[in-house]
Amino acid sequence: MTLLNSLLLGACAIGAAVAQLQCGTIEYNPALYSCYDGDFLCPIISGDATKKCGDACYDADIYDCKADSTLAEKPAEDNPFTLIAHNPLYYGINGKVINGCSRHFFLRDLPCAYCPEGIGGLDCSMFSENATVLGGISGLMTTVPGGQLFYIEPNGALGFTQAHSGSYPTGSTFGSVKAYEDGEFIIPGTSGWYACGDDNQIFAALPGLEFSCIPLRILTAEWPYGTPVWQYT
């Protein structure tokens, strides 16, 4: 029941008055919960209904429900992938791509990228510069020597290192995320992500932090193409 309790705590009101329905002996708000089998409630989180598996509620982008009604974690995403914002309650952000710019991540159509022209053997025209692609739990898919890494800053911001530099904000964490194949991009132990401000910057809902922003989940999309940039800026 730990998973169920965790999901129930993550459910939040969306502000609109909705007529209460009955699920067994319990009244519930259908904007916040789904009723299964006539008497089992599962929360709706960031616009998505969690599903029932045995006596637990689960996120289908993280777990699969097996034939014996037990949960199995989805396979890890081993291939390069991009990030997609997901919250059906917010049409303006749902399905939007997440890209890197100015060492942080935002809902924006294209990343900020750079390729040094005039270097022998380097053909900048080979880079599409049309996506921010992640590989593994802390790397960005680039060509620049030394590569670039992404991390979570102490304030929850999803950031990345500058090329040719290993500097990052003190207290940042690397490798704390999990990415699932055709599934979700999460930090275990947190309640999801937020898009904040007019530029929709991405923040992780780290324990102890509070945000007055748009809640969202982040989904992965496999990237089957080549390296899209020389470096991100």
> In whole angstroms, what separates CA 228 from the centre of its chain?
20
- pLDDT tens digit sequence for 22-79: 999 999 999 999 999 999 999 999 889 999 999 999 999 999 999 999 999 999 999 9
DSSP string of 182-217, one letter each residue = TSBEE-TTS--EEEETTTTEEEE--TT----SEEEE
Averaged pLDDT for residues 1-21:
50
Q: How confident is the model at residue 137 (pLDDT cuts 50, 70, 90)?
A: confident
Q: How confident is the model at residue 17 (pLDDT cuts 50, 70, 90)?
A: low
Q: How confident is the model at residue 8 (pLDDT cuts 50, 70, 90)?
A: very low
- pLDDT tens digit sequence for 150-171: 999 999 999 999 999 989 999 9
Give the residue, 15 or 135, on which the prediction is more confident.
Answer: 135
Amino acid of residue 132: T
Rounded to the nearest 10°, the torsion over CA 14, 20, 22, 23 is 10
pLDDT score recorded for residue 99: 98
pTM, entire model: 0.87
Q: How confident is the model at residue 6 (pLDDT cuts 50, 70, 90)?
A: very low
| Cα angle 152, 74, 215; round to 5 | 45
pLDDT score recorded for residue 191: 83
Instruction: Kindly tell me the burial class for residue 9, based on how many C-beta atoms sit within 10 Å of its own C-beta (0-12, 13-18, 19 or more).
Output: exposed
